[in-house]
Chain A
Amino acid sequence: MISELEMGKAESELELGLGLSLGGGTAAKIGKPGGGGAWGERGRLLTAKDFPSVGSKRAADSASHAGASPPRSSQVVGWPPIGSHRMNSLAAKSAREEEEAGKKKVKDDEPKDVNKKVQVGFIKVNMDGVAIGRKVDLNAHSSYENLAQTLEDMFFRGNPGTIGLTGQFTKPLRLLDGSSEFVLTYEDKEGDWMLVGDVPWRMFITSVKRLRVMKTSEANGLAARHQESNERQRK
């Protein structure tokens, strides 16, 4: 029913949202109205404006230099519900902070934190086609399998009590073995996007900055696994 979800083009990332909420003129293939059945998937219904840098654009953006703020995963219109006056004030404040950070010589890739911020161990996870990002605590996982399981539970109907964000897949994903439609990738501290699974787990968790569940078709841009991991070993 929801064939838009299977499209692989960059625009389709936008159309996905459009398809669900009628932005941009794409006709939504909706079943009969009424009941929960009208929306078979649990994808959140957001308009195209809501995600400025979803999907493959993010890979390009990820090579951003130090001091610039990374694209936000949950840049949804009107969320969080902070009044526009306050939003403007926060934006002005972070622009000022970035300016100051940019003026000084920044030694590492991490953005300067004025206050205590993100907990060590929690990193962002985004999935292609899902506007809202999630977070996982890497410290709570001991292996890639562990992590993959958590991600599958998070984004697809898995455990009772957690609602999958896409919902229409009920079979397990097999994120790690390359057999499914999606692969798990990550951005390392140097800003490169890599396939997950090549380096020992311990090394992985010290170098990962964030994760992305990417469509296999899009992962062609990433270097082949072995080649990549060899290069890394050499550094």
Chain B
Amino acid sequence: MDLRLPSKVLEHIFSFVDSNEDRNSVSLVCKSWFETERLTRKRVFVRNCYAVTPAAVARRFPEMRSLTLKGKPHFADYNLVPDGWGGYAWPWIEAMAEKSPALEELRLKRMVVTDECLEKIAASFKEFKALVLTSCEGFSTDGLAAIAVACRNLRELELRECIVEDLGGDWLSYFPETLTSLVSLDFSCLDSEVKLSDLELLVSRSPNLKSLKLNRDVSLDALGSLLRLAPQLVELGTGSFSDKLDQEAVSKLSQAFTELKELKSLSGLWDVLPEYIPLLYSVCPGLTSLNLSYATVQMPDLVELLSRCSNLQKLWVMDLIEDKGLEAVASSCKELRELRVFPSGADVDETNVALTEQGLVSVSEACPNLESVLYFCAQFTNEALVTIARNRPNLKCVRLCVMEPFAPDHKTQQPLDEGFKAIVEGCKGLQRLSVSGLLTDKAFEYIGTHGKKLRMLSIAFAGDSDLMLHHLLSGCESLNKLEIRDCPFGDTALLENAAKLETMRSLWMSSCGVSFGACKLLSQKMPKLNVEVIDEHPLKTRPDSSPVEKIYIYRTLAGPRLDMPEFVWTIHKNPEIGVSNLAIE
């Protein structure tokens, strides 16, 4: 009896399979499932743009309508990846223009996008609907103008924390009068002023506009008129919130806010003056997401605001909130799922010392749905970490940044090993972890032993020896991304656990103790990995024993990349170099 379902039936069934993780599993069942799945996949995620070639992706997924790409490694966010390393969008856009002209959505993260790229998109994809660029760079407002003028069905244009060369605010005027399909517009990262009249015209002819994130230059006055034109907004990013308005303007603005019946997400609020905070009260009860991380609001005002946000699920705030403010959050925001507390000063000296580990402990106690935490603070204790783990075993993401490197438990002067042990032991579903403070190899032994679901791990200034890396690579079964800086270990653990690297997306190590010889050996042993040595100050001759500045290792089906700058070395550059006698214990 032939148990194979006809492909039409399979197609129909697969159309209900949304998550790509599931789709990937589906593809592995058998050839016919692989075929049917690939012919029906519309949204493709390539999480490392160098892991596979654009042509291969286009070939496999002919019905692709949405492509998401990530380029540079995460540590590029902190300036650890030199300019010119790579992550170019052009080859992808060029390939898709030719092979997948029906593409509708492009979402790029940490990639270099030029005006040429944007012009190509505008010219090639007739049904183009959504462009979302996160932490990208290399383009100017001219490129935006090209998108605006040509994409007749544009729904989303979002620039999140991009570096854009600002050649003037005219680009907005390039949206044709016939464009009425806009759903989401985010230009919050742009520096210069846009013409208010252009913006107002655009907003007034966009009845479907749900998300609008303005840049800093949009005044409070302008905000008022925009809100009156778009009371249906679900997400709002304000501009600067600090102009002095007269009484009438204030009350008009207040009225505009009360009309925002659908508002769920609020951000922006740069320089918000305390007297304007009450303007926001009317939207607070409906908010599920609030980003105050650029708002220098002091604790008492924060408490007033947050105590009204009973439905809040996501809160981003600065350490100005202090422990007291977080206690207020704990008592008012019972639905909280994600908390991020950012430092108000770049140096540990300048951070607010009234924010301690206690703030996070309070929130962990009182918010049952808390899953994701990013917390910058001056110092921490093991006791606090143990309490947090006990309170919140459902934590999935814990990123703790103790601002001072090597800072021990400030009460006991011990390393924070035991605290992080409690976290990995107690939070059994933990997927992402960033550790900091004083840590010995023991901490990593614990993480290796207990962090079975851990997918991403970030480490800085920690550990004593190779054992640290060995524990992680041999213990963390689900490890997908590992990024390490300034930790004292060498080659042994890396070479002994080489096979593990093929099961991971990538490994980043900078300012550690890996030698050039080990990199060469690893490259030879593991042809399915690209082992990139990134060294802006290379020696003229590199002895095998010399340590390398940075390495980035990732698995790939695409082989060596063709766009490597001078300061990136892989074995493919010098295949004739043999590996000299290397004593590996």
Q: Is the interface of B mostly helix, strand, loop or mixed?
A: loop
Q: Could you tell me if B549 and A36 are in contact, using CB atoms closer than 8 angstroms?
A: no
Is A30 in contact with B515, judged by CB distance below 8 angstroms?
yes
A46 at the interface (CB under 8 A from B): yes
Of B342, B518, B544, the residue contacting A82 (CB under 8 A) is B342
- CB of A34 closer than 8 Å to a CB of B: yes
Q: Closest residue to A164 on the B side, CB-wise?
A: B406
Q: Which of A35, A77, A86 lies in contact with B342, CB distance below 8 A?
A: A86
**Would you call B79 and A124 a contact (CB within 8 A)?**
no
Q: How far is the CA of A117 from the CA of B353 in the complex (A)?
A: 6
User: In the assembly, what is the distance between CA of A31 and CA of B461, in Å?
Assistant: 21
Q: Is B511 interfacial (CB 8 A cutoff)?
A: yes
- List the A side residues contacting B467 at CB < 8 Å: 36
Asked if A34 and B346 sit within 8 Å, CB to CB, the answer is: no
Shortest CB-to-CB span from A79 to chain B, Å, is 7
Tell me the complex Cα distance, A24–B298, Å: 45
Q: Contact: B79 with A34, CB < 8 Å?
A: no
Chain B residues whose C-beta falls within 8 Å of the C-beta of A46 in the assembled complex? 486, 511
Q: How far is the CB of B50 from chain A (nearest CB, A)?
A: 22
What A residues does B214 contact at CB under 8 A? none
Q: Assess whether B56 is interfacial by the CB under 8 Å rule.
A: no
Q: Contact between B547 and A83 (Cβ–Cβ < 8 Å)?
A: no
Q: Chain B residues near A117 (CB, 8 Å)?
A: 345, 349-353
Q: In the assembly, what is the distance between CA of A84 and CA of B83, in Å?
A: 13
Q: Encode contact with B along A76-117: 1 for CB under 8 Å, 0 otherwise.
A: 111111111111011101100000000000000000001111
Is B460 interfacial (CB-CB < 8 Å)?
Answer: yes
Q: Which residues does chain A contribute within 8 Å of B347, judged by CB atoms?
A: 72, 74-75
- A81 / chain B contacts, CB cutoff of 8 Å: 77-78, 401, 434, 458, 460
Distance in angstroms between the alpha carbons of A159 and B584 in the assembled complex: 32
CA distance A44 to B583 in the complex (A): 25
Which residue of chain B has the shortest Cβ distance to A167 in the bound complex? B488
Question: Does A161 make an interface contact (CB < 8 A)?
Answer: yes
Partner of B535, one of A22, A35, A37, A119: A22
Q: Is the CB of A163 within 8 A of B440?
A: yes
Chain A nearest CB, measured from B270 CB (Å) = 8
- Interface check B237, CB cutoff 8 A: no
Inter-chain contact B406/A163, CB cutoff 8 Å: yes
- Asked if B78 contacts A78 (CB within 8 A), the reply is yes
The reply to whether B485 and A78 contact each other, CB–CB distance below 8 Å, is: yes
Chain A residues within an 8 Å CB radius of B518: 33-34
In this complex, the member of A34, A81, A87, A116 whose beta carbon has the largest number of chain B beta carbons within 10 angstroms is: A34
Which of B161, B406, B491 interacts with A38 by CB under 8 Å? B491
Q: Report yes or no: A132 in contact with B461, Cβ–Cβ below 8 A.
A: yes
C-alpha spacing A134/B438, complex, angstroms: 12
Pick from B7-15, B165-173, B408-416 the stretch touching chain A.
B408-416
Asked if B206 is at the interface of the complex by the 8 Å CB criterion, the answer is no
Minimum CB distance partner of B511 in chain A:
A45
Contact A90 B346, CB 8 Å, known A28-B547, A46-B511 = yes
- Whether a CB of chain B sits under 8 angstroms from the CB of A203 is no
CB distance from B519 to the nearest CB of A (A): 10
* Cβ contacts B439-455/A at 8 Å (1 or 0 each): 01000000000000000
Q: Which residue from B354, B486, B537, B585 sits with its C-beta under 8 Å from A116? A: B354
Within 8 A of A (CB), among B314-328: 320
**Does A225 lie at the interface of the complex (its beta carbon under 8 Å from any beta carbon of B)?**
no
Chain B CB within 10 A, most for which of A32, A89, A93: A32
Contact of B545 with A89 in the complex, beta carbons under 8 Å? no
Whether B80 sits at the interface, judged by CB under 8 Å, is: yes
Q: Which of A33, A39, A84, A135 contacts B544 (CB 8 A)?
A: A33
Q: How far is the CB of B405 from chain A (nearest CB, A)?
A: 5
**Residues of A close to B342: CB separation below 8 A:** 82, 86
CA distance A109 to B485 in the complex (A): 36
Known: A47-B511, A80-B376, A119-B353. A35 touches B465 (CB 8 A): yes
A residues near B, CB below 8 A?
A: 18, 21-25, 27-28, 30-39, 42, 44-48, 72, 74-87, 89-91, 93-94, 114-119, 124, 132, 134-135, 159, 161-163, 165
List 9 extra interface pairs beyond A44-B405, A72-B347, A82-B346, CB under 8 A. A22-B547, A30-B545, A33-B513, A34-B466, A39-B490, A77-B80, A81-B77, A117-B352, A162-B438
> Could you tell me which B residues sit within 8 Å of A by CB distance?
75, 77-80, 135, 161, 163, 189, 293-294, 296, 298, 320, 342-354, 376, 401, 403-406, 408, 413-415, 434, 438, 440, 458, 460-461, 464-467, 485-486, 488-492, 511-515, 517-518, 535-540, 544-549, 582-585
Q: Give the 4 A-B residue pairs with the shortest CB-CB distance, closest first.
A: A36-B465, A78-B78, A33-B515, A45-B511
28 contacting pairs across A/B (C-beta < 8 A): A22-B537, A22-B547, A28-B546, A31-B545, A33-B544, A34-B466, A34-B492, A35-B490, A36-B464, A45-B513, A47-B511, A47-B549, A74-B347, A76-B405, A77-B78, A78-B78, A78-B80, A80-B346, A81-B78, A81-B401, A82-B343, A83-B77, A115-B320, A116-B353, A117-B353, A134-B404, A135-B404, A163-B406
